Structure formats: C-alpha cells, structure tokens
Amino acid sequence: MSVREDAADLLGELTDLRRALHREPELGLDLPRTQEKVVGALDGLGLELTFGNGLNSVTAVLRGAAPGPTVLLRGDMDALPLQEKSRAQFSSTTDGVMHACGHDLHTSLLTGAAKLLTARRADLRGDVVFMFQPGEEGQDGAKEMIDQGVLAATGTTPSAAYAIHVTSGMLPFGVFATRPGPIMAACADVKVTVRGRGGHGSAAHRANDPIPAACEMVTALQVMVTRKFDIFDPVVVTVGSFHAGTKNNIIPDTAQFDATIRTFSAASLDRIRPAVLALLQGIGAAHGLEVEAQFYGLYPVTVNDEAAFETVRRTVRESFGEERFAALPAPTAGSEDFSRILERVPGAMVFLGATPADRDPATAPFNHAPEAEFDDAVLPEGAALLAELALGHLSAA
C-alpha cells in the first residue's frame, strides 16, 4: 500500500484527535492537556520521547533500521486568545480561547506522520525527529526547543526540516502551496513610550506635551518606509495601538504606541530597527522629549531552501498529482518561528488548503478569524506529505 493509502486509513483517528484538541485549546507555552493527548496518540509506537522544561513540548525520535541522516518534521500546538464563532460541532469549550490558526490540525497530522513512518521503519536509513511545539503565536517556542536541544535529539543535526501550515481560505481544499526563498515575513514589534511633562491643557507652554510628537512619529514611520526602503524588498509598519491621556484639558506625562514591523529579507530586518530607533529619538529630541523604544516578538524571515522547495514540488506531483501543487508568487506577510529552524537547517514550510467545501477560498474567513474553519479531510493528506518527504530524504541518503 502507498503512503497515501495508509494515511487514508488514519482519517478517523486523526479527526478524533484534532477535534479533541479543538475542544480544549490551550495558549502559549503552557499546554499540559495538549501534551497529554499527543503522548496518548504516540503511545505504543516505540518512539523516544522527551519533554520541554518550562514548556509543554514533545520531541519524539524514530530510529530508522539503518544509520543515516536526520529529518525534522514540525507541528505547532498552541491556540489563540479569541472567542470562537465557527459552525463546528466540536467548538472550543474554553471561553476566549480558540484553535483559529489550525495548529490543532498540525498536531494531529504530525502524529499521523509518526504512525506512517513507524510502520516503514525497516525502510528508513536514518532517524526522524517529530517536533511538537508550543508557543508559536509570539512566544518563540521554536527557539526555546532549539535551546533545549531539539536539533540534537538524535545525535545528528537534521539535514532537512519540513512543516505544514493549513489555511482556512486563500487556497482550495487539498492544494499544497509553497515557494523557494522567503515565504513568510520577519516580525519585529516595538513598544514606544514618549515621556514629556503633564499639565493644564490651557497652558501647554508650562508642560511638555508628548501627544503631538508621538503622532508625528506614527506618520514619520510611514514616510521612512517609503523613502528609505526598496519597494522591491517590502517593509510594512503598522501602529496598531496608541494610548495617551485621560481628558481633553489634561496634558498627560506620556504617550504610548505599539507597532508591528514586517520585512521579507534579513537585510531589511537588520536595517529597520536602528532606523526606527533613530527616527523616534530624533523626533523626541526635537521636542525635548524622552523616548523609550522596546523591541520584542522578533521572528526572522522564514526562508525555504531552493532544493527543499524542489523536493516538495516533486513529491506533491508524484504522490498527489500535478493539480495539487501551487507555486506561491509572493511570500505572505504573516510570520512564523519555524524560521528559527530554517535558519539552521535547509527545509521548507508548505501551506495546505483546508478550506471547507461550502466556502470560497477567496472569501472564506482566514486563519485567526473567529469564524475560521478547517476541513479535517486534509489530515491524512498532510500526514502523507510529511511522511513522503522524510522517506524521500532517508532512502535517497
């Protein structure tokens, strides 16, 4: 039987696991019940399991029948802080928490890949690391797992790494889409506090008003993006929150705003932070204000290896058919901590369309929307692709 045929037999159990995870979503690095379900699903496979310290990660190692290289397959497991409004029968039972990015599917399909590959252990010349990762949504769980040794789990640094990300729209059901080079943006968030001196709104000269200068900073950031950065290496800066003051006739001491910055090259990422800092401090100095800028939530650009991209394209075409592969014309502006792995190991991130049959991919509520829905029928397909990619790498070695 082919990997895909074997995977099809897993549909029931992968769906059950995905729905159980969906009902009980957990946030950040702290996913004890999710971890428990993963361990339950891997039970009896004879994998070497290790758990994170201070985060509920699971690193599972499958030793092949003969020695060889290591392949890493990754699934993220965390949910998002939002109230579910999907039509699912198995919707979240935790108020204000929802698997709206499909990480419940990633977790489930990675257990499927573990099952498919365990059944083919005899064909494996080398080892597979299954990386079940918490804290993708801003907690940098991948970095934490790297610091705790996920890339040393077999004793050999992986020579290939793959991850799948499902989408609730954009792609038709069952289409695998990826591209060579940058596939997702880098993200460098910045929290800014502008400190002046408060006072009466009728006598501004006696105070030092931080609000006009902070407003100037917000617009100057947009100007900087268009004047200092190449339009063919895009940069996005969005100030998504701005807070200052309590009442119209009181000048506050401080104004604060919070921005997210996306770039699609490491070079732009390196340049933008000092540029932002210099701009903010320059405007602050012009008005005699103190500026504090704190960068946080930094994820690098997610960059697919060219050869790994070719491997994915070939594997999808051979195992699933020509029509199931789409080359993405441009990266997406989301960011991903799988970038941490791809900085160290050549590999690829692949999107998989999980748009429900009754929705149009062009208009379906996308990942992170409270109405987002993902079709469980992609689970065996995702599991099969990851298993095929690992098999390809370990039998070609």
Which residues sit at the interface with Zn ion, rule CB under 5 A? 101
Q: What is the DSSP string of 317-342?
A: HHHH-GGGEEE-SS-BS---THHHHH
Distance CA 59, CA 78 (A): 15
Q: Whole-number minimum distance, CB 324 to Zn ion, in Å?
A: 21
* Cβ nearer to Zn ion, comparing 208 with 302: 302
Q: Whole-number minimum distance, CB 322 to Zn ion, in Å?
A: 27
Count the alpha carbons within 13 Å of 187 in the hemisphere toward its beta carbon.
25
Q: Whole-number minimum distance, CB 313 to Zn ion, in Å?
A: 22
Q: Whole-number minimum distance, CB 276 to Zn ion, in Å?
A: 26
Sign of CA dihedral 61, 62, 64, 65: positive
* Cβ nearer to Zn ion, comparing 104 with 209: 104
* Cβ nearer to Zn ion, comparing 103 with 120: 103
**CA dist 322 → 166, 175, 176, 272 (Å):** 19, 10, 10, 40
330, burial (CB in 10 Å: exposed 0-12, middle 13-18, buried 19+): exposed
Q: Whole-number minimum distance, CB 83 to Zn ion, in Å?
A: 18
Contact between residue 72 and residue 110 where contact means Cβ atoms under 8 Å apart: no
Q: How many CB atoms lie within 10 A of CB 314?
A: 12
Q: How many CB atoms lie within 10 A of CB 54?
A: 9
Q: Whole-number minimum distance, CB 238 to Zn ion, in Å?
A: 19
Contact between residue 189 and residue 296 where contact means Cβ atoms under 8 Å apart: yes
* Cβ nearer to Zn ion, comparing 99 with 313: 99
* Cβ nearer to Zn ion, comparing 138 with 361: 138
Q: Whole-number minimum distance, CB 133 to Zn ion, in Å?
A: 11
Q: Whole-number minimum distance, CB 116 to Zn ion, in Å?
A: 23
Contact between residue 80 and residue 98 where contact means Cβ atoms under 8 Å apart: yes
Q: Whole-number minimum distance, CB 273 to Zn ion, in Å?
A: 24
Residue nearest to Zn ion (CB): 101
Kindly state the tokens that stand for 274: 């000092």
* Cβ nearer to Zn ion, comparing 47 with 175: 175
Distance CA 364, CA 166 (A): 13
Distance CA 101, CA 42 (A): 23
Q: Please enumerate in sequence order all residues whose Cβ is within 8 A of that of 309, keeping only pairs 6 or more positions apart, or say none.
A: 178, 179, 180, 348
Contact between residue 110 and residue 73 where contact means Cβ atoms under 8 Å apart: yes
* Cβ nearer to Zn ion, comparing 105 with 276: 105
Helix (H) / strand (E) containing 116 = helix 103-118
Distance CA 33, CA 31 (A): 6
Distance CA 266, CA 246 (A): 40
Q: Whole-number minimum distance, CB 161 to Zn ion, in Å?
A: 17
β-pair type (186-195, 176-178):
unpaired
* Cβ nearer to Zn ion, comparing 162 with 257: 162
Phi, psi of 118 (to 5 degrees): -60, -40
* Cβ nearer to Zn ion, comparing 79 with 279: 79
* Cβ nearer to Zn ion, comparing 173 with 366: 366
